[in-house]
Amino acid sequence: MTHVEIPDELADAVFLEDHPGWSWDELQRAPADVVELMRRVRRARARTVALREAGL
């Protein structure tokens, strides 16, 4: 299995579209480690689901 991710800036834009409660300004002001954690969770989600589906 292999996977690619869109760049962080684009992923942030998609995140905002998916989460109407967040604004771009709030995302910029959020602590860097919180934003990084959100990005890691998002990146891991697809890979984890695909591996589980493959029974790996």
10 interacts with another protein by CB under 8 A = yes
For another protein, give the closer residue by CB, 34 or 50: 50
38 interacts with another protein by CB under 8 A = no
21, two tokens? 């409660």
46/14 Cα distance (integer angstroms): 15
Contacts of 8 (CB under 8 A, 6+ apart): 39
28 interacts with another protein by CB under 8 A = no
Residues lying near another protein in the complex (CB under 8 A): 1-6, 10-11, 13-14, 16-18, 42-43, 45-47, 49-50, 53-56
